[in-house]
Amino acid sequence: MRFRCGTGPRFHAIPAVLSLLLLTAGAPTADDGVTGRAREFLESEYSRLASMLQKEASGESENVGADMAEFIRETFDLDLFSYGILPERLPEFSETEKRDFQEALSVALSKAIPAFIRGGGGEGIPSLEFVSRKTTGRLPIGAEAAIILQREKDRSWRMRGARKSAPSHILLRYALKGEVTTRPLFFALESYPDGSFKVTDIFSAGEGLVKQYSAQARSILQKYSLPYLLAELRGSGHVLLEDWSEGEMGGIPPWWRSRKNEKDKHRPYAIREEGGGRYLAADDQGESVGLGKEIRWNVRKYPYLSFRWRARRLPPGGDERLGSTNDSAAGVTVVFRLKFGVIPISVKYVWSSTLPVGAAVRRKGIGKPWVVVADSGEEELGEWRSHVFNIYEAYRKTHGGEPPEDTVGIAILTDANATLSAASADYGEIRALREADAGSGVREILEPL
């Protein structure tokens, strides 16, 4: 039996060393106190789940998603679950990234578990019948083994340092009985010193949740960035490229870097807050320093770029066709690839001082982006503007041919150095969307001056 995670691809196998765990505690014994309490917890939570699914099927519940999310948080040890999925990568995550990863996992689990319980055969909600506490045998419990092995090597598995002593591992075998079929089901639980329990894995016929999510996560992160993995787990239809939620107020957001030849220049950017939301303010006095962030996503699957910005001051006479006037109040760039590993191939959307909306131009020279005008002039100055563009089509209309499947990153630039003036703008959320009713933004190709 296979689970499905969110909207991700079909799961693949992981190395056999993580798929097999030899438990050597002897033959199954009579039900002890711990097993009884574990059963009581698990069967109570299953009844709760069955009740939610029944209400959903009958239309009695209007907030199934929120109920399922609460159920996942209270039933699963998401610390151990996420650590078992990415034992090498998780310690490198920031606290915000860990939180976002666990939140995305809870969304994925809230979809995968009900589908698995129902079995996909239209049998309704099956009953759960206890079989035994499994203590012997060679069990393919997936990456749950990685948690145990890692514990022996490194006690730092306690994700937030909150637990005073290590919990105990329990494995319970049940039969999931439907109207037609009966399926074996194993639950891996942890028993904590305070007497509480949490689920750390569920598996059947050798296919466990941890193993499956681990295969999906590793496969995606080999090629793409964490925000793309989170989008696939959530099935949300968008990749959050930046929302400025990390970093100190007044500072530069983490993971955004200027070019090497600009590292000693003043970077005129700062995180600010307005109406309870964050944005990045840019006030250029001729520095012309851009910021870039490496972030990879599948542009063929999420071909739309969504962003918000607000121009506060335009560089007088800015005209992107000519090097001596090539200044823009705001610019958001998608870098599709690096030719020879260093030359960016990109499309840049700008708020131009003079060029008309829809104009596209590329100045001569190595690494120059195709510039597409999204906003123009002073009419909307000081107002937030929201845009969605099909960057896949923008690439085809400007560079020609098919864009690569994965991007390299995004960049922003507010500059006024060419016109020896000043420019100011604010940048809001930036996302990649799976679906949108939007074109490339390219209406007219202009010749450079």
Same domain, 255 and 227: no
Is the pLDDT at 111 greater than 60? The verdict is: yes
Decide if 401 is inside a domain.
Answer: yes
Say what percent of the chain tops pLDDT 70: 84
- For residue 411, pLDDT over 60 is answered with yes
pLDDT band at residue 100, thresholds of 50, 70 and 90?
very high
Domain match, 360 and 377 both = yes
Q: What is the CATH number of the domain that holds 168?
A: 3.10.450.710
Alpha carbon 290 to its chain centroid, in Å, reads 25
Q: What are the tens digits of pLDDT across the range 255-302? A: 999 987 787 788 999 999 999 999 999 999 998 999 999 999 999 999
Strands (E) located in 318-433? 330-339, 343-352, 359-361, 370-376, 385-390, 409-412, 423-433
- 307 Cβ partners below 8 Å, 6+ apart? 332, 349, 386, 387, 427, 428, 429, 430, 431
Same domain flag for 225 and 316:
no
Asked if residue 288 and residue 205 are part of one domain, the reply reads no
- Say yes or no: 198 and 250 in one domain: no
How many other C-beta atoms are found inside a 10 Å radius of the C-beta of residue 426? Answer: 20
173 and 252 part of one domain: no
Of the three residues 202, 234, 266, the one that is the final residue of a domain is 234
Measure CA of the first residue to CA of the last residue in the chain; give whole Å: 63
Phi, psi (rounded to 5 degrees) for 175: -115, 125
Alpha helices in 336-425 (DSSP H): 391-398
Q: Which of 51-60, 285-294, 348-357 has the lowest mean pLDDT?
A: 51-60
Report yes or no on 2 lying in a domain.
Answer: no
Please check whether residues 218 and 261 belong to one and the same domain.
no
| Residue 5 within any structural domain of the chain | no
Average per-residue pLDDT for the chain: 85
Predicted TM-score of the model (pTM)? 0.85
Neighbours of 325 (CB within 10 A): 17
pLDDT at 121: 53
Structural domain contains residue 6: no
Query: Residue 396 domain-assigned?
Result: yes
The number of domains in the chain is: 2
Residues 404 and 424 in one domain: yes
Structural domain span for residue 431: 238-445
User: Which residues are within 8 A (CB) of 75 and not within 5 positions of it... i.e. 6 or more apart?
Assistant: 45, 198, 199
Is 7 contained in some domain?
no
- Looking at residue 134, what is its pLDDT? 67
Write the CATH number for 419.
2.60.120
| Residue finishing a domain among 209, 234, 259 | 234
3 within some domain: no
Residue 378 structure tokens: 């002073």
- Predicted pLDDT at 63: 75
| 230 and 329 fall within a common domain | no
| DSSP 8-state assignment for residue 368 | P
Query: What pLDDT was estimated at residue 32?
Result: 65
Around 331, how many Cα atoms within 13 Å sit in the side-chain half-sphere?
32
Say whether both 382 and 423 belong to one domain.
yes
Which of 204, 234, 264 is a domain's end point?
234
Question: Domain check: are 198 and 251 in the same one?
Answer: no
Q: Rounded to whole angstroms, how far apart are CA atoms 422 and 311?
A: 12
The answer to whether residue 10 sits within a structural domain is no
Per-residue pLDDT, averaged over 122-149, amounts to 60
- For 109: left if phi > 0, alpha if psi spans -120 to 50, otherwise beta; the answer is alpha
Three-state SS string over 199-236 comes to EEEEEECCEEHHHHHHHHHHHHHCCCCHHHHHHHHHCC
Q: Same structural domain for residues 245 and 205? A: no
Backbone angles phi, psi at 84, to 5 degrees: -65, -30
Lowest mean pLDDT among 145-149, 227-231, 306-310, 436-440: 145-149
Q: Which two tokens stand for residue 409?
A: 């990153």
Residue 54 has pLDDT above 90, yes or no: no
The whole-angstrom separation of Cα 200 and Cα 195 is: 16
Give yes or no for residue 236 having a pLDDT over 60: yes
Compute, in degrees rounded to 10, the torsion defined by CA atoms 210, 213, 215, 219.
Answer: -150
